[in-house]
Structure 1
């Protein structure tokens, strides 16, 4: 019974992760094919998840994430922020630039934690809750790189704010989280910034793992 329950949970989580990829929902038949599960199994999973508000079906019968997922996300974000603060604070002080943790929400990146350096005369004001396309900026590019299996850092300039330079690296090794750690500044960045950002991302992954 325990093994069967664990298998059902694993299948349900895979289904939710599939729906979280930002596409325009899926039909039960598409879910069955992509998850390699029979349609009766998919329908049983959907019934349970719909009853709990985690998925919903539109007028065309396509399945989407439900608003119940938002409740879980709102509970997780403060935990992510608390876990990220030590690594971000150390990174901001070492590099002298605003450090941030960005998580993927569909095709967007959401800044859930931001730390500004204490000793610089000028730094980028980056607000928690800021949202931008994953296709723009180092933070989003790092998350897209994570989806492609990359674990190195990304550098961009002027994509989100004129004159601002960004460096970000993905948080790897956590199947339940698509996120990146990065810094942004108006000033020059040392060659060591990239490796330091990668180290901070690894530190956060270890704290969350």
Structure 2
């Protein structure tokens, strides 16, 4: 044990930098791009980029189509008793829905640029089965789950569209 008046030895500079980036992302709900993260933390842009890629890959950061990063869904999982998760609430609802409709019901969440199936409820009989497995990942812009996630999210301008166009 190190006395409180002596500096800590060891540690991981990379971990400390990654945590600093997470803290900075938590302060900006609108998200930050790589250059903004680098400026806010004082890290070189290449260091910020590498750390953001790792944070995104592990779900600690999410990235939108404009390249802005926000705190990702993995962080919520670390909070534990902060309240019931969406999955916990959705599971019994999806079970009832699958039973009532006699069809597969699933929860698909947007995690970064992927649509990830997180809960699956199958019908009690031989009703329509959709072979979604928990953990299935598809690009957000492909397939019904991803498109539903996009439709439920904030409005986005199409690439090349002008403001005011339908």
The correspondence for 1:103, drawn from 76, 99, 109, is 109
Cα shift at 1:90: 1.2
Give the match's secondary structure for 1:109.
strand
Inter-partner Cα distance in structure 1 for 2:146 and 2:46 = 32
**Larger Rg computed on CA atoms:** 2
Report 1:121-140 matches (<5 A). Answer: 123-140=129-146
- When normalised by structure 2's length, the TM-score is 0.52
Give the match's secondary structure for 1:128.
coil
Cα shift at 1:114: 0.5
Gaps in structure 2 of 5+ consecutive residues: 1-22, 61-72, 157-166
Equivalent position of 1:15 in the other structure: 28
Does the 8 A contact of 1:57 with 1:64 survive in 2?
A: no
Runs (4+) off by over 4 Å: 73-78
Q: 1:125 to 1:18 in 2, by over 3 A?
A: same
- When normalised by structure 1's length, the TM-score is 0.43
The correspondence for 1:72, drawn from 72, 75, 78, is 75
The correspondence for 1:115, drawn from 108, 113, 121, is 121
Give the match's secondary structure for 1:18.
coil
Inter-partner Cα distance in structure 2 for 1:124 and 1:84 = 18
Calculate the aligned-residue CA RMSD, in Å. Answer: 3.8
The correspondence for 1:59, drawn from 41, 46, 56, is 46
Cα shift at 1:18: 1.8
More strand per residue: 1 or 2? Answer: 1
Give the match's secondary structure for 1:138.
helix
Cα shift at 1:123: 1.8
More helix per residue: 1 or 2? Answer: 1
Number of residues of Structure 1 aligned to a counterpart in Structure 2? 115
